Amino acid sequence: MDFILAIVQARMGSTRMPGKVLKDLHGKPLLAHIVERLNSCPQIRQTVVATSNQSQDQAIVDFCKKAGIPSFQGSENDVLDRFFYVSCKYKPQHIIRVTGDCPLIDPNLISKLITKYCNEGLDYCGIATGAGSYLDKGKNTFPDGLDCEIFRYSVLEEAWTFAQPAWQREHVTPYIWQNDKKFKTGKLPCPFDYGNFRFTVDYPEDFALVERVYQDLGSENKHLDYLAVIEYLQSNLEVRKLNRKHVGQEGYEKLYEQGNTLPL
């Protein structure tokens, strides 16, 4: 079986919620939950945390070392460069990209993403999430916070070589999905529209919602299904309201307007 490497990009310097990746969530850092959930996906052989070489991110490296999680330090702003050099070290055929603000990522959903990617012989495939609602208006999307992308090492290498604008290098994959005539790209569609749910952690209100989910549904179930979280939130409207004001406020409009073309 081909080597699939999962890379979690994480840093301490979030402008909206500094230090969130190491914030205690039900007895362990938020980042630890993300790594554990990725490691429970059977197709993923290795998970690595990729952080920056800034002094404040040494705390992430120290945590990873103590927890036995492989880590890597690279460029703070050229995250594409960071991903490329992590991949050079491990030499996978395929790379999974996850960000450090998604403690409710669904291993079963990631497995479906990998299956679609492999069965269709794609170069790139992403989960259609609420974060991409600007791109997928009128389409069914998963909640923001279930974001995950998979792509070939050879495609990452080409992006690293030719991507030029700073925003393409900061966000890793824009060069790939903007060249969808060159690369075979796809998305894992959602059977229903759940784009009005928000699972990501960018603000204290987001963390409060995720904290309640872990508290009430339990954090030991690493295979916690996203549908179970949605059912819980539908039955506990006071929890769902905690971060409602941030739904749809991801700022993707500004990001994609810089590129003049939209993915897929």
> Rounded to whole angstroms, what are the CA distances from 68 to 35, 121, 187?
11, 34, 33
Q: Judge if pTM exceeds 0.75.
A: yes
- From the number of C-beta atoms within 10 Å of its C-beta (0-12, 13-18, 19+), residue 264 rates as middle
Tell whether the model's pLDDT for residue 240 goes beyond 60. Answer: yes
What is the rounded radius of gyration, in angstroms, for the C-alpha atoms of the chain? 17
pLDDT of residue 102: 96
Distance of CA 228 to the CA centre of its chain: 20
Distance CA 239, CA 254 (A): 29
Average pLDDT estimate for 125-142: 73
DSSP conformation letters of 7-50: EEE--S--SSSTTGGGSEETTEEHHHHHHHHHHTSTT--EEEEE
Domain ranges of the chain: 4-257
Closest CA to 242 of 213, 209, 217, 211: 209
User: Each residue of 172-226: pLDDT tens digit?
Assistant: 999 999 898 999 999 999 999 999 999 999 999 999 999 999 999 975 555 679 9
Name the band, by pLDDT with cuts 50, 70 and 90, for residue 15.
confident
Distance CA 169, CA 84 (A): 11
Joined tokens for residue 80: 């594409």
For the domain made up of 4-257, give the CATH fold.
Spore Coat Polysaccharide Biosynthesis Protein SpsA; Chain A (3.90.550)
Helix (H) or strand (E) holding 216: helix 204-217
Closest CA to 178 of 254, 81, 262, 121: 262
